Amino acid sequence: MSKMKAVIPAAGLGTRFLPATKAMPKEMLPVVDKPAIQYVVEEAVSAGIDDILVIIGRNKNAISDHFDSVPELEVRLQQKGDHGRLERVMKSSDLADIHFVRQGEPKGLGHAVLRARTHVGDSSFAVLLGDDLIDERDPLLTEMIAAHERTGAAVIALMQVPAESIHLYGVAATDGDDADGAVRVTGLVEKPSAGDAPSDLAVIGRYVLPPAVFEVLERTQPGKGGEIQLTDALQELATDPDGPGVVGVVFRGRRYDTGDRVDYIKAIVQLAVDRDDLGADLRPWLKDFAGGL
Ligand code: UTP
């Protein structure tokens, strides 16, 4: 087991999903039959992490409840002899050592990450956004942890996105490929217009950060949208010649942004089609449905 801790920011307002997120965090929206955040916790566990801090906000008690055990439900399933469901229900409370801290006000992703400082201490740590799913068949975090161990740099995950979507992301300027498939990041811009974007490489929701990022975040001023942006702190690390620097691991696998409505629907369809228990019923229906469009 790696000693690295993981931080999952899940304190955003989820305005794109209103009214569903009025009283429920978007990280609890079900993707097939598991809330999005459980996939993210399972991904961290698969990468060898067993200590996870979730940053929660208003209406986020559902998240901590989900990772608690529910004895009355377990007893009921046991009595009914429903061992499959019992196992699945117990799994979420048995995954890892999960801690929670409140963000108070959602002042931005950088501010959320800074709330992890006391728990993380003076060690490198992973950040996994609670609404961003990486398919378990395409391990990314393990590769990022290896890149961090090799370089000591802050490691970000990058993905090529089409020009029409680039304004939705932080975007990296890089200086080409190195031998290990990681690129040196020379600068970062939060949500640029297509004309101002330094590349087509967008920052997606996985990071492996050195503790030096906390000092930078302490003095990072609100940026785009009046929020304290993690991208702005990483831009400072990328351009500081005396600091650890930033490298990017370019991801070419399957990723689902469940905070976006269309991507959320795609995630459910893609993951359900591939499931042994659902795919056989769903595939012919989908073909028929698509044929009628
Ligand atoms: P997003 O920008 O996707 O989340 O943040 P949001 O603000 O909730 O979304 P919309 O645009 O209003 O629909 C990315 C991740 O960072 C977390 C979010 O919960 C999400 O997992 N976040 C964002 C925080 O924890 N705190 C913040 O202040 C902002």
Q: Please identify, by atom number, the ligand 1 atom nearest to the C-alpha of residue 108.
A: 28
DSSP H or E segment with residue 268: helix 261-273
The predicted-structure confidence for 182-208, as pLDDT tens digits, reads as follows: 899 999 998 999 999 999 999 999 999
The predicted-structure confidence for 50-98, as pLDDT tens digits, reads as follows: 999 999 987 778 998 998 877 888 888 888 888 888 887 777 777 789 9
113 lines ligand 1 (CB under 6 A): no
Sequence-distant (≥ 6) Cβ neighbours of residue 158 within 8 angstroms: 172, 174, 183, 201, 202, 203, 204, 248, 249, 250, 251
Structure tokens at 148: 């961090």
CA 5-247-206 angle, to 5 degrees, is 40
Fold of 5-259: Spore Coat Polysaccharide Biosynthesis Protein SpsA; Chain A (3.90.550)
CA dihedral 253→44→54→125, nearest 10 degrees, is -100
Measured by CA distance, the residue closest to atom 5 of ligand 1 is 12
Contact 154, 288 (CB under 8 A): no
Structure tokens at 21: 């997120």
Which range has the worst mean pLDDT, 69-73, 119-123, 143-147, 234-238? 69-73
Which range has the worst mean pLDDT, 76-80, 103-107, 208-212? 76-80
CB neighbour class for 254 (10 Å; exposed up to 12, middle 13-18, buried from 19) = middle
pLDDT of residue 87: 83
Q: Residues 23-31: what's their mean pLDDT?
A: 93
Residue type, 288: D
pLDDT of residue 3: 82
The span from the CA of 214 to the CA of 244, in Å, is: 13
pLDDT of residue 185: 95
Confidence of residue 161 (pLDDT cuts 50, 70, 90): very high
Q: pLDDT at residue 36 above 70?
A: yes
pLDDT of residue 75: 84
The span from the CA of 154 to the CA of 263, in Å, is: 28
Confidence of residue 246 (pLDDT cuts 50, 70, 90): very high
Full-model pTM: 0.93
Pocket test for ligand 1, best of 113, 131, 260 (most atoms within 8 A of CB): 131
Q: Please identify, by atom number, the ligand 1 atom nearest to the C-alpha of residue 111.
A: 28
Gap from CA of 125 to ligand 1 centroid (Å): 19
pLDDT of residue 179: 58
Percent of the chain at pLDDT > 90 equals 75
Measured by CA distance, the residue closest to atom 1 of ligand 1 is 12
58 lines ligand 1 (CB under 6 A): no
The span from the CA of 213 to the CA of 114, in Å, is: 9
pLDDT of residue 115: 97
pLDDT of residue 1: 41
The span from the CA of 28 to the CA of 73, in Å, is: 19
Decide the pairing of beta strands 246-250 and 154-160: parallel
Mean per-residue pLDDT over the chain, rounded: 91
CB neighbour class for 5 (10 Å; exposed up to 12, middle 13-18, buried from 19) = buried
Decide the pairing of beta strands 246-250 and 182-190: antiparallel
Sequence-distant (≥ 6) Cβ neighbours of residue 280 within 8 angstroms: none
Q: Residues 243-258: what's their mean pLDDT?
A: 93
